[in-house]
């Protein structure tokens, strides 16, 4: 089955999902916190730690546990997928384009597609813990996934760095 392009068939894609998500020992129903797979630092582009529950049998979305150390932030980035962060612990704020919103434990933070955004830990003593859910796998399967990182740049610097790139 083609996963993108002119040979892609939505009917074939949807028909294959039930077989794809069938749990097995390699793709269990439960992934323990001790079994999360930490992404290498060179793939994260910021001081946060991202650990993926990659063995879950999901086809269309990914789940991460993200930790932002005290006083630090994620990178300034944008991507085609939607993301929801559930704040497990801590407090901080997020820049999403020209808006800034504060959040704390128990809140949900939504990042719309293709918007510059960055999440900040406002505590100098305690880390922030997020449960991060994104539909990046679905867009990847459809050949539509894209992500840009401006590192620890400001919003203005990110816009200037990728000026004219609207796709």
Pick from 113, 118, 117, 99: nearest CA to 167: 113
Q: Across the chain, how many H-helices and E-strands are there?
A: 4, 11
C-alpha angle 4/76/35, rounded to 5°? 65
Mean pLDDT of 66-77: 96
CA atoms within 13 A on the CB side of 95: 19
Q: What is the reported pTM?
A: 0.79
* pLDDT of 118 higher than 70: yes
Range with the lowest mean pLDDT among 58-67, 89-98, 117-126?
A: 58-67
pLDDT of residue 40: 85
pLDDT of residue 93: 98
Residue 136 DSSP one-character state: H
Give the best-scoring range by mean pLDDT among 9-23, 24-38, 152-166: 152-166
Q: How far is CA 139 from CA 2, 61, 134, in A?
A: 14, 9, 10
Domain 45-161, CATH 2.60.120.10 — does that match?
A: yes
Structure confidence at residue 107 as a pLDDT band (50, 70, 90) = very high
117 burial type by CB count under 10 A (0-12 exposed, 13-18 middle, 19+ buried) = buried
* pLDDT of 166 higher than 90: no
* pLDDT of 38 higher than 60: yes
Q: 118 forms bridges with which residues in the sheet? A: 95
Mean pLDDT of 53-57: 80
Structure confidence at residue 18 as a pLDDT band (50, 70, 90) = low
Q: Where are the domains of the chain?
A: 45-161
């Amino acid at each position: 089955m083609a996963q993108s392009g002119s040979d892609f068939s939505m009917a074939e894609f949807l028909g294959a999902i039930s077989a794809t998500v069938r749990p097995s020992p390699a793709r269990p129903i439960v992934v323990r916190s001790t079994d999360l797979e930490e992404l290498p630092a060179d793939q994260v582009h910021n001081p946060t730690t991202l650990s993926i529950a990659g063995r879950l049998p999901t086809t269309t979305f990914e789940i991460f546990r993200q930790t932002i150390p005290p006083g630090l932030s994620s990178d300034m980035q944008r991507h085609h997928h939607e993301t929801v962060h559930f704040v497990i612990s801590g407090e901080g704020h997020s820049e999403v384009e020209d808006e800034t919103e504060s959040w704390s434990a128990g809140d949900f933070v939504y990042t719309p597609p293709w918007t510059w955004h960055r999440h900040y830990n406002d505590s100098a003593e305690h880390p922030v813990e997020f449960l991060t859910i994104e539909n990046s796998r679905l867009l990847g399967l459809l050949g539509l996934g894209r992500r840009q990182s401006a590192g620890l740049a400001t919003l203005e610097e990110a816009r200037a760095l990728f000026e004219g790139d609207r796709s």
